[in-house]
Amino acid sequence: MTTMEQGPMRTAIEPTGFRALGASVRGELLRLRKWPTVWVLGGVWLALNLTFAYVFNYIAYATGSGNFGTGPATEGLLADLMPDAIPRIYTGGLPMFGGAIMMILGALAAGSGFGWGTWKTVLTQGPGRLVAFAGTLAALGVVVVTILVAQLALDFGASVLIGTVESQTLGWPDVGELAKSVGGGLLISAMWAAAGVLIGVLTRSPALAVGLGLVWSLVVENLLRGVANLISELEYVTNVLPGTAAGSMAGALGATAEGEGDGAPGVLTVLSGASSAALLAAYLVVFAVAAAAAMRRRDLA
């Protein structure tokens, strides 16, 4: 038998295990980092967050017209714009708006590969299906963390700026509270992103996945909660929906609930912080595992 006198064969990496996972994450991160869609989605979320959490409220305070014209222009409004308020403000927009954007991100990242044929290409590179898919999930996790860290930095920047302009004494948030809030925000975001990935894998179509996902998170859950006010038995179901868990997480962290006048849409006080955290983590795991299972069995055209 002849030996092949060429460069290193593809067995250069162990095809399974942590090196293959690392290789998959590196590959996926490269293509996500260079994907304009990721930057657009991240940028839109940061802009929304800045606008609704800081810009509008500051204008309302500065012009004395109250929060969105509904509440009195109190010192409370300014207090929400200070750095020490970040732990309770940070997650306010995540259950509905941030979550929706994370879901779009997940749905596009997982669903596009079927139409482009890139799943087929990626899955013939070496790492096994589960390892390659885990690499995608991990890389998406890195993107989500990056966006949330950027949001935190932006929130600090905005609150310090406003505090300085208004000549306030800048109080700093309690580190423990801040960590809880960022952790809660991460759970909410990761859960919605995983939901997006699952719908993307199941529908194999980014457009259908995004559409269905948004209808669910923005419309269906709210309608169900409305119906649950009439049929109380339905509450057993609506109390454990993904959106309820996400909203309750934000509510437990101090965001003003949507029922309370100027509260943020999607923020709820149905579940305790601990229950909503547990439920979010459970959904995150179930969505990721279900998506991986579907991916493992699927025939790839």
Residues that bind another protein (CB under 8 A): 1-2, 4-13, 15-16, 19-20, 23-24, 26-28, 30-31, 34-37, 116-129, 131-132, 135, 297, 299-301
**Closer to another protein at the Cβ: 124 or 169?**
124
97 versus 133: smaller Cβ distance to another protein: 133
What is d(CA 87, CA 245) in angstroms, rounded to the nearest whole number?
A: 18
Q: Which of residues 28 and 258 has its CB atom nearest to another protein in the complex?
A: 28
Nearer to another protein, 109 or 195 (CB): 109
Residue 167 C-beta: closest distance to another protein, Å? 47
Q: State the nearest-atom distance from the C-beta of 8 to another protein, in Å.
A: 7
- Of 26 and 164, which has the nearer Cβ to another protein? 26
Q: Which is nearer to another protein, 6 or 169 (CB)?
A: 6
In the complex, what is the shortest distance from the CB of residue 9 to another protein, in angstroms, rounded to a whole number?
6
Q: Taking the complex as a whole, how short is the minimal distance between the CB of residue 141 and another protein, in angstroms?
A: 17
From the CB of 47, what's the least distance to another protein, in Å? 22
Rounded to 5 degrees, what angle do the CA atoms 176, 181, 183 make?
95
- Cβ at position 297, least distance to another protein in Å: 8
Burial of 226 (0-12, 13-18, 19+ CB in 10 A): exposed
Provide φ and ψ at 66, rounded to 5°.
80, 165
Least CB distance to another protein at residue 134 (A): 12
132 or 277: whose CB is closer to another protein?
132
